[in-house]
Structure 1
Amino acid sequence: MFTNYLKVAWRNLIRSKWAGAINILGLAIGITASLLLFVIIQYEMSFDKFQSHYNEIYRIVSKDKYPDGFDYNPGVNNPVPDAIAADNLPFGEVVPVKSVYNTQVNIYEQGEKSGIPDKYEIDYSLYTTPDFADLFDLQFATGTIENLANPNVIILTKTTAEKFFGDWEKAENKSLEFSNGLKLAVGGIVEDIPDNSNMFFDMLVSYQTVRSNPDIYDFDFESWGSLGSDNQLYVSLADNADIATAQAALDGFTKKNFEGRGTSEKSLLLQPYSEIHFDQQYGSISGSVTRLSTVNTLVIIGLFILVMASINFVNLATSRAIGKGKEIGVRKVMGSTKTQIIFQSFGETFLSVVLATLIGVLGATFLLPFLSLIADVPEKMDFFQPVIMGFVGVLVLTLTLLSGFYPALVISKFKPIHALKSRFQPNQFGGISVRKALVVVQFAIAQILMISTIIAIQQMNMVQDADLGFTKEHVYFVEVPFDTNTERRIDYFKQELLSNPSVTTVSLASDVPASDNNSLFNFYFDGKSEDVPFPAYAKFGDENYFKTYGIEFLAGGPYQISDTIKEVVINETMAKRLLIEDPNDAIGKQFRLGMMKEWATISGVIKDFTVNSLRDEIKQLVIAPKKDFYRVVGLKMDQNASLESIASVEKTFEKVYPEQIYHGYFLDESIQKFYESEQKLALVFKIFAAISILISCIGLYGLVSFMISQKVKEIGIRKVLGASVSQITYLLTREYFLMVLLAFFIAVPIAYWMMERWLENFAFKIPFSTGLFVIVMICSLLITGLTVGSKAIRSALANPVDSLSDE
C-alpha cells in the first residue's frame, strides 16, 4: 500500500513539474541552511564531551570583590596548588596547568647548538604534572605520562613531532630548545587532541621545569599576591565528597590563606569543566570560547528557516489542491476512505521532503568547506557523522508531519460532488485566513532577520570607525624576545629602525595600547601606606610611547627617559577614581605600584583610550617605563611607507635576532581581530536574512497564485465591466501590503529584544533609531510589491474571454 502511495505521489509530482519544483526548491533551501547551522551548533555543543571524566572535572577560579565591583580570573594565586595539596582538601586529583602561547622551538642539527636552527612556533604549550592524565584523556603512542615528573621533559602530539623531526617515531629521546635557551628532552608522543577541546595543546611540558629554572621562568611559588590567568588549577572530587562539601572546604582554605591580604575579598570557586566553553567571564586555558547567546541565536535562526520552509510547503500544497479536486472526488466515489486520502497526501509530502532533503544534503556538503568563513569551526569537517545523519532523519520525519498534516486535512475534507464539478468555496481549502496568517509569520521572521542584520552591520561599522583614543593608522609593531641580563639587543634594534627613512618614531613597550592583555596591580597613592581599594591596570613603555601611538595629554606630559619607574602617567578614568576632578591637580602626586619599593611622581594625565576592546568599559590605567618588561617595538610609519619599508624592518629584525621567528603586525589589523566572532555573526545574519527573504517570496508567490486562481472569473467580469489594469492590480495586492505591515509590527519588538541582548556584549553600542525600522518596512513593501505585483499585473492583463469561456 505504501509503495502505491509513493507511485501515485511520483506521478502527481511529474504531472505538475513547475509547481512541484518550486515547492521542493523552497524546502531544499531551508534544509540546506538548517543543516549548515546544525553542523555549527553540534560542533559548539560537542566541546570536550569526548573526555571520559567530562562531568567530574572542576576548575578552581578566583573572584575578587572590591568596594566598587568584582574582578574575575580563571587562574589561582601562585602558591594555591601546593597549599591545597598540602591541606588534604576533599579532592581526588589536584592538577596545576600553566599555559604559554606562541612558544618558539629551535631544532639544531644533530642536537648541537651551532649555526642558525630550524625555527618553529607552537600555539599552545601546557605545563603540568603526571596527574594530568588522571583527569584528561591522553593516548600515548610512545613514552608515558610519568616522564612529566622530571624537569626539562616535554611530551609532543604526533603532528608537532612530525613537524619537528619529520617522523614522530623518531622523536622520542630527541632534544629541542626553546628560544629562551632552555633545552628539553622528548619524553613521549600522544595522539593529537581534537579541535573541539578547551584543553587543547601541541606540547605538554613538565611542571618541574618551571620549578627547576627560576632564572628563566619568573614565577614565584611563594607569592600569594601573584595571580595570572595562565596559572590554572583543575581538580576532581574525592570519592566521599560532593560539590557542596568541597566548596565549603575551599571557602575555609580561602579564609585561612587570604583573609587580611590585599584590599579585596577573595573567593575561590569550583567551576564545572562542562561550563567552560560558554563562559565569557572566565574564559578557557586554550581552545575557543563561544557565547551561549550566539549558539541560541543560531538555533533560533535555524528554526526560523525551517518554519518558513514548512509554511511555504503548506501554502503551495494547498494552492495545488484545487487542481487535484477531480482526482480526490473520483477516489472518494470509488470508495477511498478519509484515512486513505490522508495517507496519500502524506505520501506526496514525504516524497517531496525526501527529494528536498537529498538536494539539501548535497548543497550542505558542497558548502561545508566554506563554513569556516562564517563560523569558528575547523576548515575540514566530516559531514556524514552519526549525529548529523540522525538529525537528517529526524528532519525528514518532522517536516513530513509538520508540512503534510494541514494539506492532508484540507484534501480529505473535499466533498465528492463539489470536487467533481470543480466548485469550491475558499473555506474548503482550510480558510484563506489561515494561509494569510502563515504568510504574516513568514514575513515577520524575514523582517526580524533584516532588522538584526542592519543593527549588526551598523554596530560593526561603529566599532571599525570608532575613535579609540589613539592612532591606529600607519602604526606597525614587532614582537621581540625578552633580553637577558647579559644581553641587551632591544636598544640596538631600536637604533637600527630609526635609521629607516620610512620610520618616524619608535617606542619600546610591554604592549600596544589596545590588546587582550591585562596586567593588574595593587597600588598606593599620595604617600599613604594603605592600598587603594581598587586595582590599577598597567602598561609599560618608554618616553616615546605617547608620541608613537598618538595619545593625547590632558595635563602635564610624558615622563623623562628612564629604564625604571621614576615617573608615571595615568589616564583620566584613574584620576576620577582617585577623586581628582581637575587633571592638573594630579601632576606631582606620588604613586607606587605594589611591586615598586620607591615612590614615583605623576608626570601627566592622558585622555582615556580603549585598552582592550569596545566590549569593555574604559579601565583605570597607569603607564610607566620599565625596560625589563619590554616585548613590543612600535613604529610610526611615514604615510608613504611601502611594502619594501616593512620588508626592511623584517631584515633588520633578522640581523639582530637571527634565531627568532619574526612577528610583525599593523595595529589596525590587530585590533580588527578582536571582533572576528561578531563579524562572522553579522555575516550569518546577512546570509540567512537573504535566504529568509527568498523563501518568503516563494511562499508569497504561492499564496498569490492560489488567490488569483480563485478569482480568475471575478477578474474577467471586472474587466468586461470596465475595470482598469491598475484597479485590478490594486484589488489583488492591497491585502498583501496590509499583511506585510502587520508582520512588521510583530517583528519590531522581537527583533528589538534580540538585538538589545546581543548589544549587551559591548560597552559602546549604537542607539536604536526609528529610521532603521522604517528602512526595513520600506524594503519589505518593495519586495512584496515586486513579488505580488508581477503576478497580479499578468492576471490583470489576461484576456477576459479565456477566463469566462467555460461559463
Structure 2
Amino acid sequence: MIRNYFKVALRNLVKNKTYGLLNILGLALSLTCGILIAMTVQFHLSFDNFHKDSDRIYRFVTEQHRDRIFYSASVPPPLGKAFIHDYTSAEDMCRVVDPGPVLLTMKSGSDIKKIKEESGVVFADPSYLKMFSFQLLQGNAQTLDEPNTAIISSSIAQKYFGDKDPINQVLYYDNKQAVRITGVIQDLPRNTDLKGKIILSWPTVKVYNDWFLKDDSWGGIASGLNSYVRLKPNANVAAIEKDLQLYVKRYRPTNKNVHHYLLQPLADVHFNAHYDGVMEKKNLWILSLIGVFLLITACMNFINLATAQALNRSKEVGIRKALGSFRGQLFWQFIAETGVITITATLLAIILSYFTLPFFGSMFNAEIPFHLFNNPLLPSIILLMVVVVTFLAGAYPGLILSGFKPVEALKGKLSFQQLGGFNTRRSLIVVQFSISLVLIIAMLVITRQMQYAKEFNMGFDKEAIVMVPVGTEEQDISRMTLRRELEAIPGVQNASICYSSPSSNSNWTTTITFDNRQEPEAFHASIKGIDENYLSTFGLKLVAGKNVFPADSVREFIVNETMVHKLGLASPEEALGKLVSISSGAFVATITGVVADFHDGSLHDDIGAVAMAIYPDQYEYYAVKLDTRRMLTTLPAIEKVWNAMYPEKMYSFQFLDDRIAEFYTTEETMLKIIRMFSLLAIFIACLGLYGLVSFMVVQKRKEIGIRKLLGGTIPGILWLFGKEFGRLILISFLFAAPLGWWLMSNWLNDFRYHVELGPGVFGVAIIVTIIIAALTVGMQSIRAAMVNPAKSLKSE
C-alpha cells in the first residue's frame, strides 16, 4: 500500500510539473535556510565546550562603577596569581596576553624572511595547555615556563618550516628576541575563542611589556590580558565573587575606584557583548526565528498551491471514491505526495547548503564546517523538519481533497468552500506577506542606520586619512624625522603622530583629579597621546585656549567640552589654567585648551570625557591626511619613505573611515542576513500568491468570458485580480507595521544616536511589496484576460 502511495505520488508530480517544481523550489529554499541557520546556531553554541571540565573554567572580568558601569574582559595582571595563593577553591590558573599584530622573522645566513601575524600570537602561562584541551603533537608543554620559548600549531609549523622538524628552530619576535620552538600542538578547532597559534612562554612577555610580570601591577587593566581559573568541583562561585571584592582594598588601599571582580563562565565568553563576545545569543534567537518563519512561509505556500490544484484533482478523487477508496486512504495518498516533494526538496537543500555554507559563514567571519552527519543533532533537526513540513503542509490539502463527494467531484460542481475556501488562502497570504513586510522594514531601518552612521558628523575629519603604525620603539627623534618626511611628500596635506584617532576602539581610560580636589572625579577620562599637528590633521576645533606646544613629555592638556561639563564648570574658559592629575598623580599638567566635542567611540554611546597631551611613550600611529586627487601616487610614496626608515619592519596602513566602520560589524552582518532572507521570504510568498491567482483564474474563467462578451475591457478584468491582492497586502501591512515598528524601535535603542523611525520606511516597504506582488499577479491575470470568451464559455 505504501509503495503504491509513492508510485502514484511520483506519477502525479510528473504529470503536474509546474506545480511540483514550484513546491520543490519553495521548500528547498526554505529548508536550505533552515539547515544553514541550524548549522550556524549549533556551531556558535559549541564554542569552547570541548575542553575537559569546561563547566569549571571561568575568566576573571571587571565591572568599573563610575558615572556609569564600564565592563572589561580583563583584570590586573597579578590577580590570578594572588587568587591561587590566597584561596584553595581553584585547581589552576593561567594568564594569556594578546599583543595584537606581531612581526616574526626567520633568519638563515643573509636570508631574512619577515611575516606579519595579524592575530594568533599570544604569551601564556605554563598551565595554558593543561587547562585547555589542545593536543600536543611534539615537544614538551612544560617549556612554557622557560624564557624565550614557544609552542606553535601544526599549520604554523608547515607555514614557517615546511617539512623540516620545527623543534629547536628559531623565530625572532618583533626583530628583538630570538624564540626557540619547543613544541607543536594540533591546529586549533574552529569553534574556539582561544586563538593561540603561536604560544610564547610567559617569561617572554617582558619583551612586549614587563608590566605583566610584576606582582605590584594592580594599578591598571590591559584589554589584551585574559586571566582564567579552573575551580574545584562544587566550588561556590557566588562566595568566591564576594571574596574577590576584598581585593581592591587589600591590594589598592589608596584607590577610590569602585571595581567589582567577577567570574565569567567559559560558556559565556563567546556570547557576552559586555566582555567582547562576538555573537550575542539574541542574534542566534533572531536567526532561529527567521528560519522558523521561512519554513512556515514555505508550508503556507505549499498549501496555497495544493488547494489551487484542487479542481484539477477533483475528478481523480471522485473516481477513486466511486471505486471504493476510503477518505483515510486518499488522505495518506496526498500526505505521500507531500512527503515525496519534501524529501526531494530536502535532498536539494542539503546540496545547496553544502555549496552555500562558506558564503553564509563568511557573513559571520567564521569558517563553519559542514559536519552534517558527524553530529547526531543536525540530522535529527533535518528529519524533524521533514516530518513537520510534510504533515504541516500536507494535512490541510489532504483533508480538503479527500473530503470531496464523488458525484459533485465527477460533475465538477464544487463550491469555493469545498475547494478550501478563499478565506483560508487569504489568511495564508496575509501571514506570508506580514512576515515578508516585517523583514523588509527591518532591512530598510538597518540600512538607513548604517548609512546614517557612515555620513554622521563625528566632530572631526575622517575622510582621506590613513593610519600607519609607528613601527618602532626608538627615540622620539626618529619618529619626528619620519613625520617631517611624510609631510614633504606631494599629496600629503598634514601628518601627526598619535596614540589613536579621535574615535577609536583602543582607548586608555583612567581616573582624573581636577584642580587639587580631595577626591578623584566620579567619571573616567580617555587619555590620548597627540602631537602639535593632531588638531589640524583631524580638523578638531578649539573653542577656548590654545594648541599644545612641541614637547617631549606630558606638560599641557587639551580637554573636550564634555570634560568641562562633567567637571561642573560654567564655560570652557573656566577650565583654562587649572591642573589635572591622571592615574593617581602619574601625570600632572595644566589645561591650556578646550576643543569642541567629537565622538570618541561609536554611535552606540554618549560622548565621553577626553584629555589629550603630548605623550611620546604612547605613540602608536602616524595619521596622514591625503589630497584625494593625488592618492594613487601618494600612498606608494608613503610606503617607500616608511620602509626606508624601518627596513626591518613590515609596512601596513588602514583608512580611518574603514576603522570607524568596524564599530558596526555586527550590524552590517545582520543587515546582510536580513537582506538575503527578506528576498527569499518575498520570493516564497510570491509563489503562494501565484498559487492563489491560479486558483482565481480557474474559478473566474466563465465570469471573465461573460464580462468580455458584455464589453468588459482588459484593464477592468485585471482590476478583478488587483483589488483582491491589493486588499490582502494592505491587511498584511496592518499586522506587519506595528510589529516592525516595535522590533526596530527596540533595536535602535541600542544606539545613542540614530535615525528617526518615521512613516517613510513603512511607505517604502508597502510600495516595494505592492510592486513585487503586481508583477507576480500580472502575468497570470493578463493571460486570463486575453483568453477567447468562446473558449472559456464552451462548456455552457
- In 1, Cα distance between equivalents of 2:600 and 2:213: 26
1:570 corresponds to: 559
1:406 corresponds to: 396
Please state if 1:292 is matched with 2:284: no
1:214 to partner: Cα distance = 8.8
Query: Residue 37 of structure 1: SS of its match in structure 2?
Result: helix
Please state if 1:179 is matched with 2:174: yes
Please state if 1:145 is matched with 2:141: yes
Q: 1:283 aligns with which of 272, 276, 288?
A: 276
Q: 1:234 aligns with which of 223, 228, 231?
A: 228
Query: Residue 641 of structure 1: SS of its match in structure 2?
Result: helix
- In 1, Cα distance between equivalents of 2:210 and 2:544: 40
Give the aligned residue type for 2:439: L
Q: Tell me the matched-pair count.
A: 795
Alignment of 1:530-545 (within 5 A): 530-545=519-534
Query: Residue 331 of structure 1: SS of its match in structure 2?
Result: helix
- Post-superposition Cα deviations, 1:718-740, rounded to whole Å, max 9, x if no partner, equal 44444443333323332221111
Instruction: State the identity %.
Output: 33
1:328 corresponds to: 317
- In 1, Cα distance between equivalents of 2:769 and 2:115: 57
Q: 2:464 aligns with which of 474, 481, 484?
A: 474
- Post-superposition Cα deviations, 1:301-322, rounded to whole Å, max 9, x if no partner, equal 2222211111110110111121
2:257 corresponds to: 264
1:422 corresponds to: 412
- In 2, Cα distance between equivalents of 1:748 and 1:605: 46
1:82 to partner: Cα distance = 2.0
1:223 corresponds to: 217
1:4 to partner: Cα distance = 1.0
Alignment of 1:331-730 (within 5 A): 331-378=320-367, 385-386=374-375, 387-484=377-474, 489-594=478-583, 596-597=585-586, 599-730=588-719
- In 2, Cα distance between equivalents of 1:710 and 1:504: 73
1:200 corresponds to: 195
Query: Residue 65 of structure 2: SS of its match in structure 1?
Result: strand
- Post-superposition Cα deviations, 1:495-523, rounded to whole Å, max 9, x if no partner, equal 32233222232211111222210211111
1:534/1:261 CA distance change after superposition, 3 Å: farther
2:146–2:201 CA contact under 8 A, matched in 1:
yes
- In 1, Cα distance between equivalents of 2:211 and 2:510: 20
Query: Residue 628 of structure 2: SS of its match in structure 1?
Result: coil
1:152–1:185 CA contact under 8 A, matched in 2:
yes
2:56–2:233 CA contact under 8 A, matched in 1:
no
1:446 to partner: Cα distance = 0.9
Query: Residue 336 of structure 1: SS of its match in structure 2?
Result: coil
- Post-superposition Cα deviations, 1:162-188, rounded to whole Å, max 9, x if no partner, equal 222223x51111222211612222121
Give the aligned residue type for 2:320: R
1:731 corresponds to: 720
- In 1, Cα distance between equivalents of 2:291 and 2:406: 40
Query: Residue 229 of structure 2: SS of its match in structure 1?
Result: strand
1:40–1:375 CA contact under 8 A, matched in 2:
no
- Post-superposition Cα deviations, 1:587-625, rounded to whole Å, max 9, x if no partner, equal 211112126456311111111212222222211111111
2:99 corresponds to: 100
1:457 to partner: Cα distance = 1.0
- Post-superposition Cα deviations, 1:397-439, rounded to whole Å, max 9, x if no partner, equal 2211111111111122111121122211111123321111000
- In 1, Cα distance between equivalents of 2:630 and 2:640: 16
1:383 to partner: Cα distance = 6.1
2:47–2:191 CA contact under 8 A, matched in 1:
yes
1:282 to partner: Cα distance = 0.9
2:600–2:607 CA contact under 8 A, matched in 1:
yes
- In 2, Cα distance between equivalents of 1:581 and 1:804: 87
Query: Residue 18 of structure 1: SS of its match in structure 2?
Result: helix
Query: Residue 662 of structure 1: SS of its match in structure 2?
Result: coil
Name the TM-score, length of structure 2 as normaliser. 0.95
- In 1, Cα distance between equivalents of 2:418 and 2:234: 68
- In 2, Cα distance between equivalents of 1:576 and 1:44: 43
- In 1, Cα distance between equivalents of 2:466 and 2:452: 23
- In 1, Cα distance between equivalents of 2:631 and 2:264: 50
2:27–2:298 CA contact under 8 A, matched in 1:
yes
1:446/1:240 CA distance change after superposition, 3 Å: closer
1:140–1:189 CA contact under 8 A, matched in 2:
yes
Give the aligned residue type for 2:94: V
1:364 to partner: Cα distance = 2.7
1:372 to partner: Cα distance = 4.2
1:554/1:28 CA distance change after superposition, 3 Å: same
1:732–1:792 CA contact under 8 A, matched in 2:
yes
- In 2, Cα distance between equivalents of 1:598 and 1:359: 66
Give the aligned residue type for 1:663: S
1:12 to partner: Cα distance = 0.5
- In 1, Cα distance between equivalents of 2:319 and 2:236: 70
Please state if 1:248 is matched with 2:242: yes
1:517–1:612 CA contact under 8 A, matched in 2:
no
Moved more, 741-750 or 17-26: 17-26
1:88 corresponds to: 87
- Post-superposition Cα deviations, 1:311-341, rounded to whole Å, max 9, x if no partner, equal 1101101111211112112222222222211
1:301/1:269 CA distance change after superposition, 3 Å: same
1:360 to partner: Cα distance = 2.3
- In 2, Cα distance between equivalents of 1:217 and 1:204: 19
2:95–2:228 CA contact under 8 A, matched in 1:
yes
1:389 to partner: Cα distance = 4.1
1:500/1:729 CA distance change after superposition, 3 Å: closer
- In 2, Cα distance between equivalents of 1:86 and 1:369: 47
- In 2, Cα distance between equivalents of 1:103 and 1:45: 30
1:17 corresponds to: 17
1:451–1:751 CA contact under 8 A, matched in 2:
yes
- In 2, Cα distance between equivalents of 1:595 and 1:176: 40
Moved more, 738-747 or 549-558: 549-558
- In 1, Cα distance between equivalents of 2:744 and 2:674: 11
Please state if 1:37 is matched with 2:26: no
1:257 to partner: Cα distance = 3.9
- In 2, Cα distance between equivalents of 1:651 and 1:221: 43
Unaligned runs of 5+ in 2: none
Please state if 1:745 is matched with 2:738: no
2:152 corresponds to: 156
1:103–1:124 CA contact under 8 A, matched in 2:
no
- In 2, Cα distance between equivalents of 1:725 and 1:214: 79
Query: Residue 698 of structure 2: SS of its match in structure 1?
Result: helix
1:204 to partner: Cα distance = 1.3
1:131 corresponds to: 127
1:518/1:408 CA distance change after superposition, 3 Å: same
2:764 corresponds to: 775
2:106–2:112 CA contact under 8 A, matched in 1:
no
1:121–1:661 CA contact under 8 A, matched in 2:
no
Give the aligned residue type for 1:392: I
1:220 to partner: Cα distance = 3.8
Moved more, 540-549 or 238-247: 238-247
Query: Residue 517 of structure 1: SS of its match in structure 2?
Result: coil
- In 1, Cα distance between equivalents of 2:709 and 2:790: 9
- In 1, Cα distance between equivalents of 2:43 and 2:746: 23
Name the TM-score, length of structure 1 as normaliser. 0.94
